[in-house]
Structures are given as C-alpha cells and as structure tokens.
Amino acid sequence: MNTPLRIIRAAAVAAAVGTLGYLTVTSVHQATQPIATAVPASNIGRVLAAASRQAAPDLSGATLTGASLDTASWKDHVIVVNFWGSWCTPCRVEASQLAHTANDTAGLGVKFVGVDVRDNPAAGLAFEREFGIPYPSFNDPNNALAARFGALIPVATPETFVFDTRGRVAAVFIGATTFNNLDPVIRQVVELG
C-alpha cells in the first residue's frame, strides 16, 4: 500500500472515531440533562433527602406474562423499579446484580418490578429466564409507564428508581448498577421508612 493511501485511510479512521466519540458524549449529555434538573448529578445513586423527594407514580398494567399488576397494592413497601430492555447491553450486565439484590432484600419486604421498554414479551421473558429474574416486569413497548414519572422521566436504559414507604422517589440510578451500589441504598431507605 502506498504512503498517501495509508495516510488517507488513517485520517478517515481517526475522523470516524472522533465523530463516534462526540456523538456518544453528546447523547449521554442529552440523556442525562433532563434528570439533572430533577436530581442533581451528585445525588445519583444516593438516598435523597426526605425534603427533596418527589411523589412516585403508581405503575399499573400488563406484565410480560399477561397478568395485571398495580404497584398501588404495594403501599408501605420500599419498591425498586428498573427500566430495561432485552436489547440493551448494560441491562444484560446488571441483570444478575438486580436478581441478587432482589433476593437479598426480599426478607425486608422490598418489592421489585421491571419495566421492559421497546421490546416484545417473548424477548423480555427469554431475558428474565436467562438471568433468573425473580420479580415481574411490565410490558411497556411505548414508554407509557415512563411518562408517569414527570420531571423524573427515565431518559436512559437501564435506569433504576427506589421508592420509599411513603410513595416518594428516594433514589435514582442511571446506567447499569451493581449489588454493591444498590443493596446499601435500599437498606438505608428501608431503615429510614
């Protein structure tokens, strides 16, 4: 290969990588910008002060199995809501961590529910079987449940919310979370009531 052609190809690769990096940073900024006004970035993944907690929406609808579910029936429980999709790589990374956390906190009365977005029930159910998800998930292909969050509308997948026993958003996690990050936050919310 002659030298000018190598230089042109190297420049094209560098331009493509730079453009991809710019688009990734831009989309992450745009994805987190709306929630940043509702929850300061320094509070993501932490228990929010009681005075700054917003009302959590009741979520109701059909699960991936076709059953009806309404989180209003879970009053007085800490509720963990995870937005995910079987097509989402970070969702696949965190799935076993969420299953472990759900099993670990079940004895505390914590209720978990997933919200499978932009997916079909068959793919969602296969995902849940693959990762041993022990809790139900809503089927929400059009993001109708996400819209109920108002200013806290989930803008990225995965995204996880912890509701306190008074029906308020007590913690928000953007992106894949882990047992070591989520479990202590849930326990703190349970302890605070």
Q: Given a cut of 50, is residue 19 above it in pLDDT?
A: no
Beta-bridged to residue 149, according to DSSP, are none
**Higher pLDDT, residue 8 or 169:** 169
Q: Share the mean pLDDT of the chain.
A: 85
74 shares its domain with 122: yes
Domain with 19, as residue range(s), is 1-38
pLDDT digits (tens, 9 = 90+) for 102-159: 999 999 999 999 999 999 999 999 999 999 999 999 999 999 999 999 888 998 899 9
72 shares its domain with 88: yes
Q: What is the pLDDT of residue 63?
A: 97
11 shares its domain with 83: no
Q: Given a cut of 50, is residue 90 above it in pLDDT?
A: yes
CA proximity to 114, closest of 88, 99, 135, 97: 135
pLDDT band per the 50, 70, 90 thresholds, residue 70: very high
30 shares its domain with 115: no
Q: What is the pLDDT of residue 20?
A: 37
122 shares its domain with 160: yes
Residues 6 or more apart whose Cβ sits within 8 Å of residue 48: 39, 169, 170, 171, 172
Asked if the peptide bond before residue 90 counts as cis, ω within 30 degrees of 0, the response is no
Q: Given a cut of 60, is residue 51 above it in pLDDT?
A: yes
164 shares its domain with 75: yes
Quote the crossing angle between the two packed helices 179-192 and 89-105, to the nearest 10°.
40
CA proximity to 117, closest of 96, 150, 91: 91
68 shares its domain with 96: yes
9 shares its domain with 74: no
30 shares its domain with 45: no
82 shares its domain with 165: yes
Q: What is the pLDDT of residue 28?
A: 38
CA proximity to 160, closest of 186, 141, 140: 186
21 shares its domain with 59: no
Q: What is the pLDDT of residue 156?
A: 85
The pTM score is 0.80
137 shares its domain with 98: yes
Q: Given a cut of 80, is residue 8 above it in pLDDT?
A: no
Total domains in the chain come to 2
pLDDT digits (tens, 9 = 90+) for 20-48: 333 333 333 334 334 444 676 777 889 99
